[in-house]
C-alpha cells in the first residue's frame, strides 16, 4: 500500500509538472488598422521583407514572407496570397507584426504589397463567429451600440455575410436573412470573427 501511494505521488507530480509547462492557447490575432496583402506569387517566390525599427532607420530583421505569422483560419487570404497585420502607417511605410510573439517592424510598402483597411477587406466576404467568446459577442443588435436593442443571439460558429464597418462593429446579414450589427473585434483589438476569402 505504501509503495502504491509512492508511485501515485510520483505520477501526480510528473503530471503536474508537465501540464504547468504546456503551451498556453494561442491568442486571437490583433486587428491593427488593416492588412498588408503581400505581392502575389507562389509561396517559394515570396521575397524577403526588410524590417526597420522606424521608417528608413534601424534595420532590425529580414524575414521571408512565408515565415510571417499565419493568420489562417482567422483571415483566409486565398491562393498565392499572404496577409500581414498592419498596426500603423506612415509615409508609404507599414508597421507589421512579424512573429508569433507579436513583435513589430516597419516595412516599405512599395516593395511589400498592397495595404487594405478592414473597411475595404471585410465587406462582401463571408465570416464565421469564433467559438468560446463571451455571450455579448454573439448578440446581433439593431444599431452599432451595446445599448441598442438586441435582435437575436447567434450561435457559435454561425456564418454571416459582411456588409459594412463602423469602428469595432460590423453590419452583417445572417444566412436566415436578418440584418444587424455585431462586434468584429474586442476591446483589446483582437478578432472575434474568422474571415473567409471572397
Distance set, CA 4 to CA 16, 67, 187 (Å): 18, 49, 51
- Per-residue pLDDT tens digits for 124-172: 999 999 999 999 999 999 999 999 999 999 988 788 999 999 999 999 9
- Whole-model pTM: value is 0.79
Binning pLDDT at 50, 70 and 90, where does residue 66 land? confident
Give me the CATH topology for the region 34-121: SH3 type barrels. (2.30.30)
Residue 186 backbone dihedrals phi, psi, to 5 degrees:
-90, -175
Binning pLDDT at 50, 70 and 90, where does residue 3 land? low
Average pLDDT over residues 164-190: 94
Dist. CA 102–CA 115, nearest whole Å: 19
Which helix (H) or strand (E) is 7 found in, with range? helix 2-20
Residues forming CATH 2.30.30.40 domain(s) in the chain: 126-195
**Residue 117: pLDDT above 90?**
yes
pLDDT confidence of residue 15 = 47
Q: Which CATH class for the 126-195 domain?
A: mainly beta
Average pLDDT over residues 18-35: 70
Number of CB atoms found within 10 A of residue 93's CB: 18
Amino acid at each position: 500500500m505504501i509503495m502504491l501511494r509512492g508511485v501515485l505521488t510520483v505520477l501526480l507530480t510528473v503530471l503536474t509538472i508537465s501540464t504547468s509547462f504546456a503551451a498556453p492557447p494561442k491568442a486571437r490575432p490583433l486587428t491593427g488598422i488593416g492588412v498588408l496583402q503581400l505581392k502575389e506569387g507562389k509561396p517559394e517566390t515570396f521575397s524577403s521583407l526588410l524590417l526597420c525599427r522606424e521608417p528608413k532607420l534601424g534595420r532590425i530583421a529580414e524575414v521571408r514572407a512565408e515565415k510571417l505569422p499565419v493568420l489562417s483560419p482567422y483571415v483566409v487570404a486565398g491562393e498565392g496570397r499572404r496577409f500581414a497585420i498592419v498596426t500603423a502607417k506612415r509615409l508609404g511605410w507599414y508597421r507589421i507584426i512579424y512573429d508569433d510573439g507579436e513583435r513589430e517592424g516597419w516595412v516599405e510598402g512599395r516593395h511589400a504589397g498592397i495595404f487594405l483597411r478592414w473597411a475595404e477587406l471585410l465587406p462582401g466576404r463571408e465570416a464565421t463567429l469564433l467559438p468560446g467568446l463571451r455571450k455579448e459577442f454573439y448578440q446581433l443588435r439593431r444599431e452599432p451600440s451595446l445599448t441598442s436593442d438586441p435582435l437575436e443571439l447567434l450561435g457559435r460558429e454561425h456564418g454571416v455575410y459582411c456588409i459594412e464597418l463602423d469602428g469595432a462593429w460590423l453590419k452583417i446579414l445572417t444566412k436566415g436573412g436578418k440584418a444587424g450589427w455585431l462586434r468584429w473585434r474586442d476591446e483589446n483589438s483582437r478578432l472575434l470573427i474568422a474571415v473567409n476569402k471572397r
